Amino acid sequence: MAAAFIHYFLGVGIAYLFGYTGLEAVVLGLVGAVQDLDFLTFFFYKYLAKSHYGQLLMHRGITHTFFFAFVCSAVVFVVSPWISLFVLVNFMLHIFTDYVTAWGVAPFQPFSSRRYSLGLMTIFDLPLVLLSVFVGVSGFFSVNPLWAFASFFGYILLRGVLKKRLLYKDLVPMGTITYAFCFPEDDYTVGKVDVLGREKIITVPKTTAEIDPLLLKKIDAKVEKSMLSHFLKYPTYAEENNSVVVKDARSYLFPQSSRFRFTVHFDKELGDLYVMAAGRKIGLH
């Protein structure tokens, strides 16, 4: 989720565009954030990660898809075509807003699990938050919400232009103006660059020990099934206490980033894969 309150304020703005005012607009704004109720599935990650349907049920899964948006809109259409359109606009804007952030969405599930992301900003990008608040409160101050939405989308367009000016590809936002990049050569070349072009680069070895290539393939296959491959695009491997520890190469340059604040462990004796995050051990397979 681009923080849920962003979606809420956008929902309030949409309510004003649809002619609702006052308390009605405040309440109907919740429709913009309802898809993020799927965050509750994080409490069941240990079990969902082992399920074939885990990717559908986790956050930014089925609730963040075109299928879900159209089905919900169709159900509401039976009661009110106007409310149905309101729901559809809210759900589609929610998907788009998450699409522009780092984690992206898989909007074509359950037919395709491929994720899409413009990767322009993090989910807590301060200007995006402030502009969403502007959208939400505009109607209360007799400001045409269309102008507020224009500023919101204008900022997204500006971030897109600034990112396109940078020399590197596959940039991932790591702060308000900072992006990470990585080149998978013999070792990884990991770097960060901001919208002003200032950069820092380090080299990260892919492995810190001689590890059987067949074992690495086995680990990669398990990671691919665990819903973590999106966060381990550039895996590094190290041996530790009869386990192979897997981290994304970018974590060495951004150790405090919530995106990389976990490690994947493969127990060589038991053949089990598990995650260590916030001091918790979460079994995967």
Dist. CA 93–CA 98, nearest whole Å: 9
Residues 53 and 104 in one domain: yes
Low-confidence ranges of the chain (pLDDT < 70): 1-2, 39-59, 226-227, 284-285
pLDDT of residue 235: 92
Write down which residue in 142, 165, 188 finishes a domain: 165
Which of 222, 244, 218 is closest to 50 using CA atoms?
222
Task: Tell me the per-residue pLDDT of 242-267, one tens digit each, with 9 for 90 and over.
Answer: 899 999 999 999 988 878 888 889 88
Residue ranges making up the domain that contains 200:
172-204
> Do residues 190 and 252 lie in contact, with contact meaning Cβ atoms separated by under 8 Å?
yes
Residues 154 and 257 in one domain: no
Residues 259 and 188 in one domain: no
pLDDT of residue 52: 56
Residues 182 and 222 in one domain: no
Residues 21 and 158 in one domain: yes
φ, ψ of residue 239 in degrees (nearest 5): -95, 135
Domain total of the chain: 3
pLDDT of residue 200: 95
Whole-model pTM over 0.85? no
pLDDT of residue 54: 60
Residues 241 and 100 in one domain: no
Which of 160, 178, 186, 275 is closest to 223 using CA atoms?
275
pLDDT of residue 279: 75
Residues 131 and 27 in one domain: yes
pLDDT of residue 259: 81
Residues 145 and 192 in one domain: no
**Would the CA dihedral through 250, 235, 120, 130 be positive or negative?**
negative
